Structure 1
Amino acid sequence: MKLKLFVFLTLCTIGFTTAQNASGNGVITGKVIDKNSQQPIPYVNVSVLEDSKIITGGITQENGNFTIKGLPLKKYLVEFQFIGYKKVTKEVTLSENNKTVNLNNVIIEEEAVQLAGVEIVKERSTIEQKIDRKVVNVGKDLIASGNTASDIMNNIPTVSVDPQTKELSLRGNSNVRVLIDGKPSNIDAGQLLQQIPSSSIKQIELITNPSAKYNPEGMSGIINIILHKNSQDGFNGSINSGVTFGETPKVNSALNLNYRVGKVNFYSNYGFNHGLNANRGHINSFRPNLENRQEFGGSNLNTSHLVKLGMDYYIDEKNTISFYTNQNIVAGGGDGYTTINYDSALLRDSKQFSYSDNDNYTQTYDLAYKHDFSKKGETLDFQANFSNTESPEKTDFKFNQTNPTSTRFTTNDIERDTDYLQINLDYVNPITESIKLELGAETRIQKITNDFDETISEPSESYNRVGNSNFVFTRNIHSLYTNFGKQWTKWSAQVGVRLEQYEIDGDFQNVVTSSNSTENINDRSAIKDDIFSVYPSVFFSYKMNDKNTFNFNYSRRVDRPSIGQISPIREWTTPLVESRGNPALEPQFTNSFEVNYTRTTTIGAITAGVFYRQINDEIGRVIYKNPDNNNQDIISYSNFDNNHAFGTEISANLKVAKWWSINASSDAYFKTVRGTVENANTGNQERAEVDVVIFNARMNHNFVATKKLRFNLFAMYRGKDLGLQFERKPMYRMDVGSTYTILKGKGSITARMNDVFETMNFSFDGSIPYRQTGAFYWESQTFYIGFNYMFGGGKNSALQRKQRDQNETQGSGGLL
């Protein structure tokens, strides 16, 4: 009995010892070395995998060494990953006879070789479909298509830039927000995109259905432009300069500088634009008894300076504080004319001349702090952003009428001042390898003051009129959000909700005195609103295999009226047309659904998708008679009925041959627009409804002739659009260009001919409130020649790579 008990205890001891050895006595050690510099690399991610699943891991120390302890005695795959480097894997077998394995020096190699302190970009752009966004990785083919961000946007699937106004739209809708490195900009998007060199762009994210983490504004979503982060010690920079030849030459230049020493990184950017832009157009009006033709024309001379100065201070490997300031100065002015020729000899033809000076000064100050917790991926971000914009405008009008001749002089003096404060706090916690929690809070406070003085004088009739309109508008938005993400083997999901309290308060006062006492006015009105809203979002992704991925998502969005849409102060005027806002305008809410499919082939990726939008109180343009002037129409905004829209789109990024690549996309939108319009004959408001089909397509071909020379061919077609009151005619154009690399790859020369056949213009045909046709033209046919040069050099900084590159939304070293 004692012998049996002894044998039993012995076997238990052996089993326990074996199990103990198998469960935690194995050790893997080594050192990670850079292949080129032969220097150790700190903070490299080391993962230990068993059956393709990560069971443990760690990071390398400052000297590149790593030690993974407590491993069961089994066979493993060890992965080494570091941003900017190729992944390396090693097979390791731990056994009773080999409990400690020393991998010695593990050599890893950079994916993108550093040349003169500037990252070498890939030859060809690629497109990735992620769970909540489409990511365009910008390659040389896109950079060659234009010198600025504005130039290359037309080559991005479903994105368009209006060639005249530079207004940006996504999926045919201009209600889109633009972020730079994940942060909002207080500078007009059209102007900002012209200041960012295309060579500074690393990625463009198309977030057509943003999650609860983002502000819910913008029906068509968000465009996030991610800039290259300089990862070099020492001094680095780039310069871009170009001239566009139209009716007159226009200059665009940008200088980017970066200096890293120790724990401090300094950066500065300067952008310069100068040019005279001409435009013209006409409108034929068939209004009963007032049939006429209006002709418009003029030119505007604008000079802008955009300066950014900033600093990053890397307190230690877990804490970074950043500060930057933007100073944007724009000086503009121009002259224009409007002529009106009536069909009836009984009506007096007229001509109006205008001379304007427009200035804009925006100053922005931004402070950010980032903390990395001990757990990998757990972060806390704080940002405070304040900006002030002053934009005075003075315009003199001279209005002449014939038969009999009379002259009226008008001066408009406008003062606009905007203060904006935004504070964000964001927390990310990867609870497990497959579960992630995001929490955040945001406050936005905005105050806008508009002061409009108008003086009218008609010497021949001894008539004088002086008016003052003042509009003070405040808007406060307070938000809380949470996102919860979960990953399975082939599935991933993300659900979130955003809570927002929206408060507005507006006060409008209008005082008019004239030599004709019957025109004296002293009116005052106010607008006030207080809305609490909930914005949910849901995302699902299914990766069938490496070649097939499906995505489904839903979110609730809002389009809140801008100051220009609600301000009763007129924006511009002609003798027959005036533009002003509508103080009674309500926010527009949208429920947006999407399904996308991505297919990866041997020559590239193809993405197809469908979407549906249910729109409540849709905001749209309306035209109605001016109640104070029966001969003048007012263009304003109104809330239409609840509408809906759905569409399909397909895009492809293909490498047809070594020398030929294609980016192509097409989309079709189907929508029903309902609302109330004015009947010109009766003056009554009537219900209207129209079904609309819009088709757009674009194709960008890139041809590599030699290692240094490449050619580009771009064509686009924007189909007709039908509204309640008019139809916009189709628009199309074709561009050709080439890029030649010089100075051992550090520089390049780009030449491009835009709108080769001069077919791009805006034309329309309207029937409500009466028949109107018209067209507007600008300098669409231009020739551009540009030069880009990258300079500087330095030693890689692993700490800076970890802190800057790992967080793509860190707003450093770029224009904002």
Structure 2
Amino acid sequence: MKLSKIFSILLLFVATTMLAQETKPGVVSGKIIDKATNEPVGFSTVSVLDGNKPVAGVSTKEDGSFEIKNLELKNLTLKVNFIGYVDASRTINLSEENKEINLGNITLETDSKMIETVSIVKERSTIEQKADRKVITVGKDLIASGTTASEIFNNIPTVSIDPQTKELSLRGNSNVRVLIDGKPTNIDAGQLLQQIPSASIKQVELITNPSSKYNPEGNSGIINIILNKNTQTGFNGSITSGVTFGVTPKTNQSLNLNYKVGKVNFYTTYGFNHGKNSNFGFVHSERVGYENDQDFTFSNVNTSHLVKLGADYYINDNNTLSFFTNLNFFDGKGKSRTSSDYLSMPDAIQENWNNSGNTTKTYDLAFKHNFEKKGETIDFQVNHSITDSEDLSHFVNNGNYSLNDINGKSSYSQFNIDYVNPLSEKAKLEIGYESRIQAGQNKFYDIQTTENTTNSFDYNRNIHAIYTNYSKTFGKFSAQVGARAELYNLYAHPLKDSTDPAENSNIVIEDEIFTVYPSTYLSYKMDDNNTFNVNYTRRVDRPSNGQINPIREWRTVNMESRGNPALEPQFTNSFELNYTRTMKIGSITSAVFYRLINAEITRVIFTDPNDTNFNIMSFANFKDNNQLGAEVNANLKLTKWWSTNTSADVYFKTVRGTVSNLDTGVMENGEVDVATFNARMNNTFTASKNLKFNLFGMYRGRDLGLQFERKAMYKMDLGANYSILKGKGTLSARLNDVFNTMHFGFDGSIPYKSYGEFHWESRTFYLGLNYNFGGGKNRELQRKQRDKQETQNSGGMF
């Protein structure tokens, strides 16, 4: 017992002696302030150097103060730097007589040369490959390529927009989930992208294989659109104004304002998009007995307003409270005319007038707490959105009149808790909980010459989930494994009330499914220039309310659309291999992916058994399917005056479906193997300090479906950017589709032989101005990085 006590005393003495030897008595402190405004410069970098060798360093607190301990008693140099300021330095003489030095206020002067070159909107869009996503920062070259998100997305690697249906696809697959600032919306993705002004977009994140941390919905992954938000000190902002000249002029405006003072940051973004679009096309049909030529003209006037308002309150270094709201207002008016010239039947003319509009309001409240342990955090977040929409269409077909009126209202609520704990320098644990509650009601009124029909559809879906991820680094390898468990409840009640009692239906659709979604990531960093990543995730595509609604959604002269209440979820096992090569001139990222799809959901078209001249469009589950693809992206600075973003991708997939062959009169279960190739190249040429030129080219290869072949599309754009007002302003000009080659062409054989083309205002000229004002400096705030709004920081958000 005595020996034990003696040993403990000796051990304590040795440890104390060693600690005393390692602890250095020197301390230096002070406060960093702006020379012009006398405001503190928080989160600036303070370093202590012994000659040219750094020996210690800290970031200043929110109030600009700092303290550096454990310094040797000798002559040292203290250096302060922060973006937008000239570096400041002080000599400190620590000695036995002067062990603690308080430097008081250290002032920083604005670096006018640097401020002149700072631009909120970059000249050229950049692509950054992160562990689980590609991040495209939208520059002026992309803004100038289109007035809406829908128009610029065709210029983003691996993303495509169908020019007619506006359907969005990622890696050749349309089962993609679209988020705004990491939050889902109640608006159809194709419609949503037409409502967001391109000038309001800061970044686009392509998350092709999300981990268990995220919502598993979306076969091909997640596209997160990040709207502009400023976090600079003081009052500042930017304005972007552009006009696109086509058949008629179209305008695209965006205003970003920010006021950061003390512990509070206020910000707002307003985007406005307005314009008239004129399109035309033709279809030649060779259906036996119904041979005809159809000519189409379309004219649409769309107006959208997008508002983002928010505030951050930095309670202290460890607690942040944030709030923002996104408001989206859309109004559209359209007119179309279809002229049908039959060879053996009387000609027909159908005219349509359409008024549509929707309003979406999203509210988000978040709180983040940083524990004393570095990197240990907990986040609470509540999100609620409401969407009201109406679509009113008038049809006149050879004297017969009909009116379709669709009214919809939906709400979406989400609550989540995310906890992150760094178990060690090389290991991290993440756990979280999420609840998503969705409710909607649609009413469809169909007034025709001979029949009136009222359809209503109530839709309720609740999802509760927990997830966990564990990551660890060992040597050149890093790995992450995780799982997400979800309980899915569905209750839907369609009701049809028609003048024909035989058509009345009262159906209840119920479902409850418990599923686990695993994910695995493994990275190998061979050296600083070569990194490999392989991952696996399981995903799901749950039928939407429109896909399961058995009552008629819309009806034309020869077709109507309805859902299938028997649809089951579609599950996908997704595998991906990535390789990134970093060089002096830039980086090249390549990827190979494979998807195994179970019970694939697909469109079906079949003949109405009561009318062989009438078709019904619906949905069905098919047998398992698979997709294989590869892509490569290069972000290179080839010379001092030439840089390029180049990408190419190829997809191999099998398309299945059921269609009705009207020439043979039988239903056919079709299957076709498809290979599609796409390529894009965006070049920037620097002519002088202030003048840059852009050359963009894209090729979208042919695609093959069960009914028709979509022909290849390609175009070339020319643009220029000129810096004015000492770098605070930029004039942009761009000629899109120089040779007017971009149009949609098809050649089909089912349900009957046909071919056609559709044209839109592809060749346009854009002229825009971007101007940044204010004298703020960016701050790297210790909070939930809501200035970036990156989805990887929001845990169970999806």
TM class, shorter-length: 0.7 to 0.9
SS at 1:622 equivalent: strand
Residues of 1 paired with 2:463 and 2:87: CA distance? 44
Specify whether residues 440 and 396 from structure 1 end up closer, same or farther in structure 2 by C-alpha distance, changes over 3 A only: same
Residues of 1 paired with 2:57 and 2:374: CA distance? 11
Q: Residues 363 and 387 of structure 1 are in contact (CA less than 8 Å); yes or no, is this contact kept in structure 2?
A: yes
Amino acid in structure 2 at the alignment position of 1:782 = T
1:440 to 422, 432, 443: 432
Residues of 1 paired with 2:788 and 2:195: CA distance? 20
Amino acid in structure 2 at the alignment position of 1:375 = K
> How far has the Cα of 1:21 moved from its partner?
4.1
Q: Residues 318 and 372 of structure 1 are in contact (CA less than 8 Å); yes or no, is this contact kept in structure 2?
A: yes
> How far has the Cα of 1:409 moved from its partner?
1.4
Map of 1:511 onto structure 2: 497
Q: Residues 26 and 99 of structure 1 are in contact (CA less than 8 Å); yes or no, is this contact kept in structure 2?
A: no
SS at 2:508 equivalent: strand
2:395 to 381, 394, 397: 397
Specify whether residues 680 and 141 from structure 1 end up closer, same or farther in structure 2 by C-alpha distance, changes over 3 A only: closer
CA-to-partner distance for each residue in 1:172-216, whole Å, 9 max, x for gaps? 223222334433344555565566666665543321101111111
Residues of 2 paired with 1:48 and 1:746: CA distance? 34
CA-to-partner distance for each residue in 1:351-389, whole Å, 9 max, x for gaps? 211122212122222222222222222222222222222
Map of 1:592 onto structure 2: 574
Computed over aligned residues only, the root mean square deviation of the Cα atoms, in angstroms, reads 4.1
Q: Residues 417 and 448 of structure 1 are in contact (CA less than 8 Å); yes or no, is this contact kept in structure 2?
A: yes
2:751 to 757, 763, 769: 769
Map of 1:373 onto structure 2: 371
Q: Residues 489 and 513 of structure 2 are in contact (CA less than 8 Å); yes or no, is this contact kept in structure 1?
A: yes
Tell which deviates more after alignment, 192-201 or 418-427: 192-201
2:781 to 801, 806, 812: 801
Residues of 2 paired with 1:194 and 1:746: CA distance? 29
Specify whether residues 533 and 638 from structure 1 end up closer, same or farther in structure 2 by C-alpha distance, changes over 3 A only: same
Q: Which runs of 5+ in 1 are unaligned?
A: 1-10, 401-406, 458-463, 812-816
Confirm whether residue 566 of structure 1 aligns to residue 548 of structure 2: yes
1:622 to 594, 599, 604: 604
Question: What's the TM-score, normalizing by structure 2?
Answer: 0.86
Residues of 2 paired with 1:412 and 1:443: CA distance? 36
Tell which deviates more after alignment, 288-297 or 465-474: 288-297
Residues of 2 paired with 1:645 and 1:97: CA distance? 72
Map of 1:136 onto structure 2: 136
Amino acid in structure 2 at the alignment position of 1:391 = S
> How far has the Cα of 1:393 moved from its partner?
2.1
Q: Residues 83 and 805 of structure 1 are in contact (CA less than 8 Å); yes or no, is this contact kept in structure 2?
A: no
Map of 1:281 onto structure 2: 281
Specify whether residues 109 and 125 from structure 1 end up closer, same or farther in structure 2 by C-alpha distance, changes over 3 A only: farther
Map of 1:530 onto structure 2: 512
1:639 to 614, 621, 638: 621
Amino acid in structure 2 at the alignment position of 1:449 = Q
**Superposition pairs for residues 193-208 of structure 1, below 5 Å?**
193=193, 202-208=202-208
Tell which deviates more after alignment, 121-130 or 280-289: 121-130
Amino acid in structure 2 at the alignment position of 1:611 = F
1:783 to 765, 775, 787: 765
Tell which deviates more after alignment, 307-316 or 113-122: 113-122
> How far has the Cα of 1:659 moved from its partner?
1.5
Confirm whether residue 478 of structure 1 aligns to residue 430 of structure 2: no
> How far has the Cα of 1:60 moved from its partner?
4.2
Q: Residues 140 and 732 of structure 2 are in contact (CA less than 8 Å); yes or no, is this contact kept in structure 1?
A: no
Amino acid in structure 1 at the alignment position of 2:230 = N
Q: Residues 804 and 810 of structure 1 are in contact (CA less than 8 Å); yes or no, is this contact kept in structure 2?
A: no
> How far has the Cα of 1:24 moved from its partner?
4.5
Residues of 2 paired with 1:255 and 1:414: CA distance? 33
**Superposition pairs for residues 406-425 of structure 1, below 5 Å?**
407-425=399-417
SS at 1:160 equivalent: strand
Counting aligned pairs with the same residue, the percent is 56
Residues of 1 paired with 2:65 and 2:186: CA distance? 42
Specify whether residues 55 and 685 from structure 1 end up closer, same or farther in structure 2 by C-alpha distance, changes over 3 A only: farther
Map of 2:209 onto structure 1: 209
Map of 1:691 onto structure 2: 673
Confirm whether residue 740 of structure 1 aligns to residue 722 of structure 2: yes
SS at 2:423 equivalent: coil
Q: For this pair of structures, how many residues does the alignment match?
A: 774
Specify whether residues 35 and 546 from structure 1 end up closer, same or farther in structure 2 by C-alpha distance, changes over 3 A only: farther
Residues of 2 paired with 1:626 and 1:48: CA distance? 81
Map of 2:527 onto structure 1: 545
Residues of 2 paired with 1:616 and 1:177: CA distance? 18
Amino acid in structure 2 at the alignment position of 1:169 = S
CA-to-partner distance for each residue in 1:446-486, whole Å, 9 max, x for gaps? 122111122222xxxxxx32211122211111111111111
SS at 2:670 equivalent: strand
CA-to-partner distance for each residue in 1:211-255, whole Å, 9 max, x for gaps? 111111111212234455423333222222222222222222222
Tell which deviates more after alignment, 161-170 or 718-727: 161-170
Residues of 2 paired with 1:668 and 1:496: CA distance? 30
Q: Residues 22 and 72 of structure 1 are in contact (CA less than 8 Å); yes or no, is this contact kept in structure 2?
A: no
SS at 1:381 equivalent: strand
Confirm whether residue 350 of structure 1 aligns to residue 348 of structure 2: yes
> How far has the Cα of 1:27 moved from its partner?
5.7
Residues of 2 paired with 1:419 and 1:566: CA distance? 18
Specify whether residues 139 and 252 from structure 1 end up closer, same or farther in structure 2 by C-alpha distance, changes over 3 A only: closer
Map of 2:648 onto structure 1: 666
> How far has the Cα of 1:118 moved from its partner?
6.9
Amino acid in structure 2 at the alignment position of 1:803 = R
Q: Residues 163 and 780 of structure 1 are in contact (CA less than 8 Å); yes or no, is this contact kept in structure 2?
A: no
Specify whether residues 735 and 471 from structure 1 end up closer, same or farther in structure 2 by C-alpha distance, changes over 3 A only: same
> How far has the Cα of 1:116 moved from its partner?
8.3
Q: Residues 455 and 552 of structure 2 are in contact (CA less than 8 Å); yes or no, is this contact kept in structure 1?
A: no
Confirm whether residue 467 of structure 1 aligns to residue 457 of structure 2: no
**Superposition pairs for residues 142-157 of structure 1, below 5 Å?**
142=142, 145=145, 149-157=149-157
Specify whether residues 613 and 545 from structure 1 end up closer, same or farther in structure 2 by C-alpha distance, changes over 3 A only: same
**Superposition pairs for residues 181-196 of structure 1, below 5 Å?**
181-187=181-187, 189-190=189-190, 193=193
Map of 2:386 onto structure 1: 388
> How far has the Cα of 1:144 moved from its partner?
5.8
Amino acid in structure 1 at the alignment position of 2:342 = Y
CA-to-partner distance for each residue in 1:5-64, whole Å, 9 max, x for gaps? xxxxxx999987864544545767566858988987545688999xxxx99986545453
SS at 1:744 equivalent: helix
> How far has the Cα of 1:79 moved from its partner?
12
Specify whether residues 380 and 205 from structure 1 end up closer, same or farther in structure 2 by C-alpha distance, changes over 3 A only: same
Residues of 2 paired with 1:500 and 1:763: CA distance? 43
Amino acid in structure 2 at the alignment position of 1:619 = I
CA-to-partner distance for each residue in 1:612-661, whole Å, 9 max, x for gaps? 00011222222211234321222332222210011111110111111111
SS at 2:782 equivalent: helix
> How far has the Cα of 1:110 moved from its partner?
10
Specify whether residues 116 and 187 from structure 1 end up closer, same or farther in structure 2 by C-alpha distance, changes over 3 A only: farther
Residues of 2 paired with 1:175 and 1:48: CA distance? 53
CA-to-partner distance for each residue in 1:496-539, whole Å, 9 max, x for gaps? 1111112222222223226xxxx853222232221111111111
Q: Residues 447 and 475 of structure 1 are in contact (CA less than 8 Å); yes or no, is this contact kept in structure 2?
A: yes
Map of 1:64 onto structure 2: 65
Amino acid in structure 1 at the alignment position of 2:789 = T
Specify whether residues 708 and 456 from structure 1 end up closer, same or farther in structure 2 by C-alpha distance, changes over 3 A only: same
Q: Residues 228 and 269 of structure 2 are in contact (CA less than 8 Å); yes or no, is this contact kept in structure 1?
A: no
